[in-house]
């Protein structure tokens, strides 16, 4: 029996399903988390063979001892994974320290976590990248801005989500950024790209070949959602565009991805951009070596009548899957922000769109910054139906 350590199996709350499918495939599933065992959901308890509680997952020594205990009790660890952006570096360090060779090691982290390092691998894949500058002093930034023009976007070079990401439109914004930026953080500055985000989401086998592929579209910027307290919308595509598939597969090869669930982000240009491409072209944004966040795995299941938790667990256990993929649809996420005066009430939405709904729930506070407060996940056969849904549920009173 192979031993699999799952870091933080209790968060996000849907990740117990990865554990369930691993256990169903005969894996010995060992969880390490900071939530007391008695507070774990019954579904998660049933999906784990054993659980080790630490006071903080941020305390490396504690987590190290937990892994050492599992090795002492169960023998060699075959896999260690969290599927969580926040713990990617921690996962890699643990694999390196315990000689677990089935995933990224510490030496792999720069190219998969630092946005500036990703660019050379995108270029190697033949995919255009935005011009960038590692933030030094204000004069160095002004020289870069003189080259590319305002606006520019600044964000931590090694960051999670849209935290501390800003769009600077003028010199006053630049001065405010320097007055408020974190002193101990390296920032990257990039030329602004007028585009929507298109993703390539895939489960990759041990040979670097895709076992399952899909993608999503985010019409509005996560940066704007967080900074402007906007509603959040994105959707799983009914059929993955050929150019996104081609770019995604080239990125897999360039980064040397094997045995992972990945979420690669690309810009699809909304207008011609000198030096990058024509309107509609796909260019690089960033790679995420884990599933797309929040409830996206569930949305992928709804859009493609399948079970990506099982496909991923099949990849881990057997390096192949016979899980069928069924009828395709668009799967829309609408994250409505509290405090807005919407035209449609919750009851109105459910009365009109209840037959389309797959998930309706409050969003955990820790995720609400990027995802809104009240979520509706619904499927539609046509983009026109989905666009009407978005227009109606997001409309506010004058």
Sequence-distant (6+) residues with CB within 8 A of 348 are none
Q: What is the pLDDT at residue 357?
A: 98
Handedness of CA 223, 226, 228, 229 (dihedral sign): positive
Contact criterion met (CB below 8 Å) for 372 and 337: yes
How much is the pLDDT for 364?
86
pLDDT of residue 366: 83
285 vs 276: CA distance, rounded Å: 12
Distance CA 12, CA 370 (A): 14
Return the sign of the alpha-carbon dihedral for residues 9, 10, 11, 17: positive
- Summarize pLDDT for 34-84 with one digit per residue, the tens: 999 999 999 999 999 999 999 999 999 999 999 999 999 999 999 999 999
Nearest-angstrom CA–CA distance, 207 and 218: 30
pLDDT of residue 140: 98
pLDDT for residue 162:
64
- DSSP string for residues in 265-284: EEEEESS-BTTTB-TT-EEE
Quote the pLDDT of residue 224: 64
Token pair for 374:
């009240």
For the residues of 330-368, what is the DSSP string, one character each?
EEEEEEEPTT--BSS-HHHHHHHHGGGEEEEEEPPHHHH
Beta strands in the chain (DSSP E): 3-7, 28-33, 50-53, 79-81, 132-134, 152-156, 166-168, 187-191, 195-204, 210-214, 216-218, 232-236, 260-269, 282-288, 330-336, 357-362, 374-380
Cα(first)–Cα(last) distance of the chain, in Å? 62
| Residue indicated by tokens 């600077």 | 168
Q: What is the mean pLDDT of each run of 10 residues along the chain (398 residues)?
A: 98 96 98 98 98 98 98 98 96 98 97 95 96 97 97 91 85 97 95 96 98 94 64 96 98 98 97 95 96 95 98 98 97 95 97 98 87 96 96 92
Please give the Cα distance from 336 to 339 (Å, whole number): 9
| Tokens at 203, concatenated | 């489960």
DSSP class per residue in 292-325: -STTHHHHHHHHHTS-HHHHHHHHHHHS------
């Amino acid at each position: 029996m192979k031993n699999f350590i799952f870091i933080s199996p209790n968060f996000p709350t849907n990740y117990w399903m990865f554990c369930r499918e691993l256990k169903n495939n005969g894996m010995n599933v060992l969880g390490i988390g900071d939530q007391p065992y008695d507070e774990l959901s019954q579904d998660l308890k049933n999906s784990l063979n054993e659980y080790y509680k630490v006071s903080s997952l941020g305390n490396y020594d504690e987590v190290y001892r937990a892994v050492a205990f599992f090795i002492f009790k169960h023998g060699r660890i075959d896999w260690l994974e969290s599927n969580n952006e926040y713990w990617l570096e921690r996962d890699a360090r643990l694999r390196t320290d315990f000689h677990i060779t089935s995933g990224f090691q510490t030496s792999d982290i720069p190219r998969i976590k630092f946005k500036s390092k990703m660019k050379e691998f995108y270029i190697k894949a033949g995919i255009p990248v935005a011009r960038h500058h590692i933030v030094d002093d204000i004069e160095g930034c002004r020289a870069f801005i003189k080259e590319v023009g305002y606006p520019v976007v600044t964000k931590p070079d090694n960051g999670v989500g849209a935290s501390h990401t800003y769009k600077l439109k003028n010199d006053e914004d630049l001065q405010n950024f320097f007055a408020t930026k974190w002193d101990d953080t390296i920032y990257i500055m990039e030329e602004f790209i007028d585009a929507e985000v298109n993703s390539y989401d895939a489960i990759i086998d041990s040979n670097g070949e895709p076992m399952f592929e899909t993608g999503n579209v985010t019409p509005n910027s996560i940066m704007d959602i967080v900074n402007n307290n906007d509603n959040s919308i994105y959707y799983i595509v009914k059929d993955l565009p050929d150019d996104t598939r081609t770019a995604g597969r080239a990125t897999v090869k360039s980064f040397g991805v094997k045995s992972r669930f990945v979420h690669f982000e690309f810009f699809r240009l909304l207008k011609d951009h000198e030096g990058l491409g024509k309107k509609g072209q796909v260019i690089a944004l960033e790679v995420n070596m884990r599933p797309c966040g929040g409830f996206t795995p569930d949305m992928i299941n709804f859009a493609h009548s399948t079970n990506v938790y099982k496909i991923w667990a099949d990849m881990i256990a057997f390096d192949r899957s016979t899980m069928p993929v069924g009828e395709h649809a668009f799967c829309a996420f609408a994250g409505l922000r509290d405090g807005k005066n919407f035209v449609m009430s919750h009851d109105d939405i459910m009365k009109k769109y209840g037959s389309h709904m797959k998930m309706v729930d409050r969003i955990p506070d820790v995720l609400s910054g990027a995802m809104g407060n009240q979520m509706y996940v619904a499927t539609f056969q046509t983009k026109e139906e989905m666009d009407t849904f978005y227009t109606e549920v997001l409309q506010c009173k004058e």
